[in-house]
Amino acid sequence: MKEYVVRNKAILVVCLFTLGLIACNKSSQPKVSQEMIDKLGITHPDHLSAATRRALSWPEIGNEWYIEYGEYQPLKGDLAFQQGVVRRDPSAVIKVDGKYFVWYTKSTGPTQGFAGDIHKDKVFPWDRSEVWFATSTDGWTWKEEGVAIKPGEAGSYDDRSVFTAEIMAYGGKYYLCYQTVKSPYNVRVKEEVGIAWADSPYGPWHKSDKPILSPADNGIWMGEEDNRFAVVKKGDFDSHKTHDPCILPYKGKFYLYYKGEQMGEEVTFGGRQIRHGVAIADHPLGPYVKSPYNPISNSGHEICVWPYRGGIASLITTDGPERNTLQWAPDGVNFEIMGAIKGAPHAIGLNRELTSDEDPVAIMKWGLTHIYNSWHEQSIMRFDSRKIREHKAPGEKGNAE
């Protein structure tokens, strides 16, 4: 008898739970206005798919965040393609006394990968690199000015390679943040971020004697094999590497945006498990404290951020479920999707002179990027973009926004 009562109670609980779900589903059907029914082309307002529910929650953004990119154009002068040379990862472009300046990664020689001698060979195109810079009066023809940052002395945190630099002009000084690698360059090496400052864009540059940003120290490798996928514990989103730094002055502080790579990285949504983070300081040279809200993106690759209307905008490319989107955070941390984008250049060097609060993507009118001519040779190119406001066939009339 006792077993019978218990069983019937269980059946009653299941029935009540099921009825509750049915009631919840009915009550959770959002009320849809006739305007939205017409705008979204909803066939049956009382049967809303998950996709339609998402569409109903979209903000009224309009089309101001959408652009299309043209074909990349080769640069002239010293930054034209050169056999046997890697020039890649251009920084933002800034203008000083009528000249454009850009900093970039430069190396020479073939790339051998990890199959060779990691103590002698060049592992990646950005391995055994220096940070160089160039100037231009028109953004097309560039003069290579020389080395800005070299690797440090043997035993220092940046003794192997310095690369992927980003520039910030602030308070009459210039700040270069960049990635660093310490020898030997093995698979499990943990990459950090360094910084240098100068009174002139021509230098000389004064390097920090220690990194300003390092990977989280809470992952655990499995075994001794040099295998980045074998882990006991993955740790934070940036437990393996901190990459692609970019510092922006923001609300009286300095926000260092960066790409995090996790130990035991997985492939998700058809791309690498890459996310972005931010660290904040009271001074450009630090100390930088990682935000407790990290990671601040679900996707992305190279950092591409700029100020817009009191917040920070971000281009998310290449990896993750939200790749190929433009996002914006009114507080520099909590980003929301503002638009989709296709064909965005990799490793964008934004033209900081074009920043505008009137147009969120004005900064992308033209800038710099890089291409792989081969695994051993890369070159910097120029990109441009155009606004897209409506879709019309040639000769078709329409209402412009």
For residues 342 and 322, membership in a common domain is answered with: yes
What does the pLDDT read at residue 21?
40
Q: What is the CATH number of the domain that holds 177?
A: 2.115.10.20
Q: Are residues 195 and 129 in the same domain?
A: yes
pTM of the model: 0.90
Q: Are residues 126 and 6 in the same domain?
A: no
**Domain-ending residue, one of 57, 78, 94:** 57
- Ranges of residues in the chain with a pLDDT under 50 are 1-27, 400-401
Q: Which domain holds residue 31?
A: 2-57
Strand partners, 141: 76
Domain match, 253 and 118 both: yes
Q: Which two tokens stand for residue 128?
A: 């055994």
Helix or strand or coil: residue 160? coil
Contacts of residue 344, defined as CB under 8 A and 6 or more positions apart, other chains included, come to: 69, 315, 317, 324
Query: Do 234 and 321 fall within a single domain?
Result: yes
Flag whether 42 is in a domain: yes
Are 332 and 280 in contact by the 8 Å Cβ rule? The answer is no
Predicted confidence at residue 78, as pLDDT, reads 98
Residue 398 lies in a domain: no
Q: Is the same domain home to 53 and 73? A: no
Of 173, 185, 176, which Cα lies nearest the Cα of 149?
Answer: 176
Instruction: Compute the distance between CA of residue 322 and CA of residue 326 in angstroms, rounded to an integer.
Output: 9
How many domains does the structure of the chain reveal? 2
CB 288 within 8 A of CB 213: yes
- Claim to verify: residue 35 and residue 105 sit in the same structural domain: no
Domain termination residue (choose one: 14, 30, 57): 57
Same domain, 10 and 79: no
> 126 and 52, same structural domain?
no
Mention every residue, 6+ apart, whose C-beta is less than 8 A from residue 327.
Answer: 297, 313, 314, 315, 316, 335, 336, 337, 338
Residue % of the chain over a pLDDT of 90? 83
> Is 160 found in the same domain as 196?
yes
C-beta separation of 354 from 368 below 8 A: no
Domain boundary among 34, 57, 80: 57
pLDDT in tens, 156-211: 999 999 999 999 999 999 999 999 999 999 999 999 999 999 999 999 999 999 99
If asked whether residues 317 and 272 sit together in one domain, one would say: yes
| Residues 198 and 177 reside in one and the same domain | yes
